[in-house]
């Protein structure tokens, strides 16, 4: 069984869906945030991939593309001591409360 | 997006790729980006937004910096690559330069490679068809083609591009001669690929500008042919 990200070594007959989803703002923001962090030396593309590849297989499979980016950015920023998990937990909860989404 | 869109279960965040921004009646986004009322805000989405807020508050990044980056990213479009291909079709000297010194030529043409990645330019001919994939994720020459399409990032393309590239091309409408050799190239974070598709017949005397209209994005990934004149 190959690693979860190694799709080239993982044959499938699934059709290729060529429909494009409309990007949500948070996805554009997350893509740009990664580049901004790269330019400042906080995480390069290899680290982005390492973060993505270290996501638990079940989450990797279930996540959308930028959800995986979000997980990876978090892994890197926590690993480097820029943010803590608790800070992110608390702020994410505050945002959800602010906008009326269940925590 | 089949595998990305509909898989719930273990880590179902509630968010779906079709989720879009709330907009006021005048079209301005509300202050909760990336949220669709009927599906809610996913866990990873809210954590991404939380990280952004915290990084700005701590002064790690500037307040408008991410938005400025998004504006710059929006200028990366497939017509960038198309101008290079059209020029290569028109100007043999430029074609040679682009194939032999791709990175320098791309930079000289005014396109800045993302994080200084290297680039290789491959030319499709009746004998050889190149097709680009990133099996591990989604690496792609974004400065020349814009952000990769969803299908390029999909699990099925990343797998089937390797195991049955001809079938994939056929799905994209390209039926190759059996004699044509297929070479699939796998991108990575340090190395991206641009494909020069075959110039369509019936385009003698066309200007670079006219030719560029035939250079569709998929042909520069190598999964499709350039657009035939009069069919777009």
How far is it, in rounded angstroms, from Cα A17 to Cα B2? 6
pLDDT in the model for residue A93: 94
What is the band of B136 on the pLDDT scale with cuts at 50, 70, 90? confident
Residue of B nearest to A8 (CA): B159
pLDDT in the model for residue B38: 44
Q: Which position has the higher pLDDT, A23 or B175? A: B175
Mean pLDDT of B201-229: 97
Interface contact B54-A83, CB threshold 8 A: yes
**Which residue in the list B137, B156, B159, B189 is annotated as catalytic?**
B137
What is the band of A6 on the pLDDT scale with cuts at 50, 70, 90? confident
- Cβ-based contacts of B3 with chain A (< 8 Å): 14, 61
Give the whole-number percent of chain B exceeding pLDDT 70.
82
- What is the least distance, in Å, from the CA of A44 to any CA of chain B? 8
Instruction: With residue A32 as reference, give the H or E element that holds it.
Output: helix A25-39
Mean pLDDT of A25-37: 94
Q: Which position has the higher pLDDT, A5 or B25? A: A5
- Cβ-based contacts of A6 with chain B (< 8 Å): 135-136
Q: CA separation (Å) from B2 to A14, B16, B37, B165? A: 9, 11, 22, 19
Domain boundaries, given as residue ranges, for chain A: 27-99
Candidates B21, B47, B150; nearest CB to A20: B150
Decide if pLDDT at B111 tops 70: yes
pTM of the model: 0.84
Quick one: CATH architecture of A27-99? Orthogonal Bundle (1.10)
Decide if pLDDT at B160 tops 60: yes
**Sequence-distant contacts of A34-37: CB under 8 A, at least 24 apart:** A34/A69, A34/A73, A35/B69, A35/B73, A35/B114, A36/B61, A36/B65, A36/B66, A36/B69, A37/A73, A37/A76, A37/A77, A37/B55, A37/B61
Interface contact A12-B160, CB threshold 8 A: yes
- Please say if B187 is a catalytic residue: no
Q: Write down the ipTM of this complex.
A: 0.94
Domains identified in chain B and CATH numbers: 2-73 (no CATH), 78-221 (3.90.330.10)
- What is the least distance, in Å, from the CA of B119 to any CA of chain A? 15
Averaged confidence pLDDT in chain B: 85
**Which residue in the list B46, B79, B109, B138 is annotated as catalytic?**
B138
How far is it, in rounded angstroms, from Cα A44 to Cα B193? 19
- Please say if B137 is a catalytic residue: yes
Q: Where are the beta strands (DSSP E) in chain B?
A: 118-123, 128-133, 181-186, 191-196
Decide if pLDDT at B169 tops 90: yes
Candidates B20, B151, B160; nearest CB to A18: B151
Decide if pLDDT at B14 tops 60: no
Per-residue pLDDT reduced to its tens digit, B45-94:
999 999 999 999 999 999 999 999 999 999 999 999 999 999 999 999 99
- Please say if B90 is a catalytic residue: no
């Amino acid at each position: 069984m190959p690693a979860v990200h190694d799709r080239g070594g993982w044959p499938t007959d699934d059709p290729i869906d060529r429909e494009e989803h409309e990007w949500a703002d948070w996805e554009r923001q997350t893509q740009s945030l990664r580049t901004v962090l790269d330019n400042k030396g906080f995480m390069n593309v290899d680290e982005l991939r390492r973060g993505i590849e270290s996501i638990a297989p079940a989450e990797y499979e279930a996540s959308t593309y930028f959800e995986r980016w979000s997980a990876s950015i978090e892994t890197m920023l926590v690993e480097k001591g820029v943010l803590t998990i608790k800070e992110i937990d608390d702020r994410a909860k505050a945002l959800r409360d602010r906008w009326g989404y269940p925590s | 997006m089949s595998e990305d869109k509909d898989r719930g279960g273990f880590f179902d965040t509630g968010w779906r790729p079709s989720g879009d921004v709330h907009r006021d009646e005048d079209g301005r986004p509300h202050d909760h980006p990336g949220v669709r009322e009927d599906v809610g805000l996913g866990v990873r989405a809210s954590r991404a937004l939380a990280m952004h807020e915290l990084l700005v508050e701590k002064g790690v990044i500037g307040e408008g910096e991410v938005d400025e980056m998004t504006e710059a990213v929006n200028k990366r479009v497939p017509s960038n690559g198309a101008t290079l291909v059209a020029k290569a079709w028109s100007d043999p000297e430029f074609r040679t330069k682009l194939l032999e010194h791709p990175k320098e030529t791309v930079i000289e043409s005014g396109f800045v490679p993302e994080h200084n990645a290297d680039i290789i330019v491959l030319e499709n001919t009746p004998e050889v068809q190149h097709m680009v994939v990133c099996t591990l994720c989604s690496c792609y020459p974004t400065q020349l083609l814009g952000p990769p399409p969803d299908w390029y990032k999909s699990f099925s393309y990343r797998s089937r591009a390797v195991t049955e590239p001809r079938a994939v091309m056929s799905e994209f409408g390209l039926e190759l001669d059996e004699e044509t050799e297929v070479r699939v190239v796998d991108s990575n974070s340090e190395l991206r690929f641009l494909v020069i598709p075959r110039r369509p017949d019936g385009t003698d005397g066309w200007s670079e500008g006219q030719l560029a209209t035939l250079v569709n994005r998929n042909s520069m990934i190598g999964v499709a042919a350039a657009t035939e004149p009069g069919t777009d």
